[in-house]
Amino acid sequence: MDQLHHECGIAALYHLPGLQASPLAPLAGAEQVSRLMPRLLLDLQNRGQLAAGFSTFNPRREKLLDTYKQIGTVIEAFRLNHQAKAESIMREHAGRAAIGHVRYATCGASDRNYAQPFERHHGCKWKWFAFAFNGQLANFAELRDQLLTQTDYHLTRNIDTEIIMHYLSKELSQYVEERPNLVEVFRSLCRQFDGAYNLVFLNAMGDMVVLRDPNGFRPLCYAWDDDGLLFAAASESVPLFNLGFRNIRSLEPGTMIVIQDGEVRHECFAEPRTPSHCFFEWIYFANVASTLDERSVYLTRRALGEELARQERQRDQVLLDGDTIIVPVPDTGKAAADAMAAALGVPSVEGLIRNRYIGRTFIEGQNRAERVQLKYTPLREVLAGKRVLLIEDTIVRSTTMKTLLHDLRQRGGAREIHVRVACPPIVAPCFYGIDMSTMRELFAPRFMKGSRLTEAEQRAMAAELGADTLCYLPLEAVARCIGLDASQLCRGCLTGEYPTQTGERLYQLSLRQRNGSAQSRTYEMPAIASTGV
């Protein structure tokens, strides 16, 4: 589908030593806390549906550290629909600590070898580790090429997760006689990495690290139970809230939580810098019930809808009478659509019904028109003869939107369709974990001649899509709706201005290659390392 996809979601659990079990953990106690991981990952399923897995630590078993991962959704991977098989997995991998992952691939193949967590076996317990990763290393090509120039290095997977594993292994190998200082290990990695990299780490000593990169591109939340025995972390707040945690916080960028020998400490591993939170987390990716960096996703999306309503009144393009309805593209457009409808006094109705029970593989096997018809059913009883304000969260490549508008007219019988987008135009790639990394795939830059979208350009876009009119959210409204200063947000895909040096260089490279024939993603290009583009 022509929708944005996120890199991944991560989670962590740790039951500290104590005389009792946490009330939030299973009655079996500390060694069974890993049983909670599938439940955490289910609430992160919106961040990745390709694969799921976890690594667990248990000092009472021969495999001190063990990893289980499979292709599919959390239910499919952990066999949750088959009680006996699910129980076998949970029993075999029972542990007092666990890290987990759900994957959507921006790069790499769709097979189990690319699923996370990654585990690196070693005879030395502090060098035997597993980790899971959420984000994208912008300087992936440079790091890869540096590794391959070293004697006898070989990469089996062309992805940044393997790059992280090798660089982490190199840092740990410097400790021979003494246990690693994990803060210094990750401080050294921070000096080498450019991009988004939230990590959960677990080794065969039972040491755990939960880390958020210095820019804070991706969200990361953590919580304790009331007794201080059970620690948990996840990419969003909803998994923690649904597990029973109440005092949920966002981990500050450039900080890490270290659990060693039954003690927990917060550490700063990077020099302070201005945060660069990805604005897309609030308007598209995150669960609408989540709160990220003290900002509600739901309230942000309502504010987006109110901005669209103000803009609609100012333009006064569409007659708002008894034949006018507002229809959200489900599901992420609904909060904005409802708020816009309330502000304009126009009904918000479900004119599109989403089929939530079709598997990803089956959808991807169809052509574009069939994909739209499989995923969305237009309600002719609602749409026929109506003037429709269609609310979409964003337009990236336009292919799905074009087909959807045709379907709304042909099958739904809509008389007029006016598209309103609760996001400014996407004019540049993302190098920090969203799968839009080349200029040539984007819709808006084909029409825009300058940095600001003109009325004539919007009319040309509407004609291309098959809409009667098209209006985007103004750029300055994004920060206002989230409630953060624009300087604290990464808006590179909206402005072409990036918060890291590698991001700036990659953008210039993508501009040069926008009319070329190369199919690889910009951050995979070797030129970035050798030419300094």
Largest distance between two CA atoms of the chain: 78
493 is catalytic: no
What is the C-alpha separation between 228 and 210, in angstroms, rounded? 17
Structure tokens at 18: 């104590």
What is the C-alpha separation between 371 and 403, in angstroms, rounded? 9
The terminus-to-terminus CA distance of the chain in angstroms comes to: 32
Count Cα atoms within 13 angstroms, Cβ side, for 10.
29
Structure tokens at 212: 């958020």
What is the C-alpha separation between 385 and 197, in angstroms, rounded? 49
Structure tokens at 353: 């019904």
Contact between 303 and 336 (Cβ < 8 Å):
no
What is the C-alpha separation between 489 and 295, in angstroms, rounded? 13
**Strands of the sheet with 118-120, listed across from one edge:** 118-120, 129-137, 195-203, 208-211, 255-260, 263-268
Catalytic residue among 8, 221, 490, 493: 8
Phi, psi of 131 (to 5 degrees): -150, 160
CB atoms within 10 A of CB 394: 22
3-state SS, residue 262: coil
Secondary structure of 318-367 in the HEC alphabet?
Answer: CCCCCCEEEEECCCCCHHHHHHHHHHHCCCECCCEEECCCCCHHHHHCCC
With a CB cutoff of 8 Å and minimum separation 6, the contacts of 433 are: 6, 7, 8, 106, 134, 135, 136, 195, 196, 217, 218, 278
What is the C-alpha separation between 319 and 326, in angstroms, rounded? 12
What is the C-alpha separation between 214 and 276, in angstroms, rounded? 9
With a CB cutoff of 8 Å and minimum separation 6, the contacts of 155 are: 144, 147, 148, 162, 163, 166
Q: Which residues are catalytic?
A: 8
